[in-house]
Amino acid sequence: MSTETMTRAEAAPAVLPVGRYGYDQVDRTFLRERIEQFRDQVNRRIAGDLTEEEFKPLRLMNGLYLQLHAYMLRVAVPYGTLGSKQVRALARIAREFDKGYGHFTTRQNIQFNWIKLEDTVAALEVLAEADMHAIQTSGNCIRNITSDEFAGAAKDELLDPRVHAEILRQWSTLHPEFTFLPRKFKFAISGSPHDRVVARFHDIGLIARPGPHGRPVFEVFVGGGLGRTPLVGVSLRDDLPEEDLLAYMEAILRVYNAHGRRDNIYKARIKILVQALGTDEFRRQVEEEFAAMDRARYRIEPALVEAIKARFGAPDFAPEGNAAAVLAEDRRRDVRFDAWVRTNTHEHKAPGYISLVVSLKPAGGIPGDATAEQLDLLADLADEFSFGELRVTHLQNVVLGHVRQDQLHTVWQRLSQAGLGTANVNFITDIVACPGLDYCALANARSIPIAQKLSSRFADLELQREIGDLRINISGCINACGHHHAAHLGILGVDKRGQEAFQITLGGSGEEDASIGQILGPAMAEDETVDAVARLIDLYLVRRENGERFLDTYRRVGTAAFKDVVYAPA
């Protein structure tokens, strides 16, 4: 039977993967054809028939960058969800084609930094066998759609956003009208009032909630972004009905596609257009486009939502039993385990279950790096304890979404044996860092060594607990891939007369109280920066009141005192 005559229903796999959309034969055939095209392009590059300049747009369409030392492959993890088979495929790529590890990023992608051109096609084949690809992880198109790492599990969630993330993924993949936008375009979607997706710093951020008649509605944020012009997104609509989701997204993108600046790369993002027009005028233009569209063609009927939902396997949660009591007893008996549970878990909506965060930030480690062995272990743990499913977070950690509480102690022990049991989520050493000058061709400074120095300096868990929630993010240049603007304490690598230097920002937040960090003062050398962070922390510990977080104290006390402690030490 050819794929043309095979309907999607006939081609659907018999067993559905839990938490992920199951590919069918149509998707798989398409990926195979893309790989064959790319094989030919790579062969022509190796033979010298294509120059690097000619090859560049072709490779970027398959997520292949040329970095400082080697090619880098960026793989999308749609809405951050991976099946164990996919995790093993990533481990295999790390082992066979990289130096034994992969690097999770702030966009729920994974990057491989040491790919040889000859191996790229084989790497894409490994991905395709596991229903993954690297398409649209680069270029001026709609990028990987990111979502809440606790989607479908979190107790505070109003709506599981993955179904709509999947609808958006299908709509945006190879969308003929939006493959050459003025600039890259990033979506994030959440179904919880607590913003865990940095919605307000995306080109479009969506927060779903139940609406009238039981159907979802969306708050639509537009024009947020980091980079050289950091801006908090504006709320364009608070009540977009589910049935109009695609039509409205299309209307926004059309206005952007038509009017976004193509003459200046620094002014090309939608955030600049929204600023230039003003929110009201931008909204007016979108509404005008929306009204003129044949909305029936885009309408999301309940039947479509149900069909997509049905393609997601649902975990079969066991009845509660005494799981909670077993966990309480395990915590009482093991103080190290108890400390880890306090920081690294998240409340689950199913009684007797819990979500756990695997920190990829051991003391002195490289944020977001996972070795092939660790990836394989995570896949095993996912199979044994979490319905075969794993999530990647925008803070460069990994989540096992649904673990039975009486099994948590076993999981933690297995993680700890592999160096994955660090109890520091949301603490000062849970540092986010872009690859910086260790890999990135655009960097001004190295982000990784300063992250390592800070995480070694503050490794003491008692001290970290004392300091409490503190988000440090580091970027190696103003592109802000490490989200430093959205950090309570951000660090930006700059070039100061040919030397690597670092600028500190304070007071940023990527959550529902989104704010952009303020620059504290002139940039400093690496070691001075580490000392300056220590002084800022000391000041906070002296000045904080009533259990305030660092961010709260900073917001209450203001910049001046913090500035003094760094630039005019007593």
Residues of this chain that bind ligand SF4 (CB under 6 A): 434-436, 440, 442-443, 475-477, 479-482
What is the closest distance, in whole angstroms, from the C-beta atom of residue 394 to ligand SF4 in the complex?
14
Residue 137 binds: one of ligand SF4, ligand HEM, none (C-beta under 5 to 8 A by kind): none
Q: End-to-end CA distance of the chain, in Å?
A: 80
Identity of the residue, 298 or 439, whose beta carbon is nearer to ligand HEM in the bound complex: 439
Q: Which does 400 bind (CB under 5 to 8 A by kind): ligand HEM, ligand SF4, none?
A: none
User: Of the two residues 208 and 443, which places its CB atom closer to ligand HEM in the complex?
Assistant: 443
What's the CA gap between 157 and 524, in Å, rounded? 42
CB of 109 to ligand SF4, least distance (A): 12
Q: Could you tell me the CA-to-CA distances from 413 to 146, 417, 441 in Å, in that order?
A: 30, 6, 39
Cβ proximity to ligand HEM: between 201 and 502 the closer is 201
State the Cα–Cα distance between residues 398 and 389, nearest whole angstrom.
11
Residues 6+ apart with CB under 8 A from 65: 59, 71, 72, 73, 74, 138
The residue ranges of DSSP E strands in 31-152, in sequence order, are: 64-66, 71-76, 81-83, 101-104, 109-115, 146-147
With H, G, I as helix, E, B as strand and everything else as coil, classify residue 237: strand
Residue closer to ligand SF4, measured from CB, 74 or 346: 74
Partner from ligand HEM, ligand SF4, none binding residue 483, C-beta < 5-8 Å depending on class: ligand HEM
* Nearest to ligand SF4 of 396, 475 (CB atom): 475
User: C-beta of 526: minimal distance to ligand HEM in Å?
Assistant: 20
Amino acid at 543: R
What's the rounded Cα separation, in Å, for the pair 252 and 243?
16
Contacted entry of ligand HEM, ligand SF4, none for residue 106, CB cut-off 5 to 8 Å set by kind: ligand HEM
Q: Which does 225 bind (CB under 5 to 8 A by kind): ligand SF4, ligand HEM, none?
A: ligand HEM
Interacting partner of 183 out of ligand SF4, ligand HEM, none (Cβ under 5 to 8 A depending on kind): ligand HEM
Q: What 3-state class would DSSP assign to 182? A: coil
Residue 104, contacted partner among ligand HEM, ligand SF4, none, CB below 5-8 A by kind: none
Please, what is the minimum distance in Å from the beta carbon of residue 144 to ligand SF4?
Answer: 16
User: CB 273 → ligand HEM: shortest distance, Å?
Assistant: 13
Residue 382: C-alpha distances to residues 16, 43, 392 (Å): 16, 38, 13
Longest CA–CA span in the chain (Å) reads 80
Provide the token pair at 410. Answer: 């076993």
| Closer residue to ligand SF4 (CB): 162 or 183 | 183
Q: 205 touches which of ligand SF4, ligand HEM, none (CB within 5 to 8 A by kind)?
A: none
Least distance (Å) from ligand SF4 to the CB of residue 480?
6
Least distance to ligand HEM from the beta carbon of 482, Å? 6
CA distance 197 to 317: 26
In the complex with ligand HEM, which residue's Cβ is closer, 135 or 403? 135
What lies within 8 Å, CB to CB, of 288 at 6+ separation is: none
CB of 317 to ligand HEM, least distance (A): 33
DSSP class of residue 535 equals H
Residue 431 or residue 565: which is nearer to ligand SF4 going by CB? 431
DSSP 213: G
Q: Which does 226 bind (CB under 5 to 8 A by kind): ligand HEM, ligand SF4, none?
A: ligand HEM
Phi, psi of 466, rounded to the nearest 5 degrees? -60, -40
Q: Are 507 and 515 in contact (CB under 8 A)?
A: yes
Given the rule CB under 6 A, which residues bind ligand HEM? 65, 67, 72, 105-107, 111, 183, 186, 201, 225-227, 269, 434-435, 439-440, 442, 479-483
Q: Which is nearer to ligand SF4, 220 or 487 (CB)?
A: 487
Q: How far apart are CA 344 and CA 302, in angstroms?
A: 37
Strands (E) located in 323-459: 345-347, 353-358, 369-371, 389-392, 398-404, 432-433
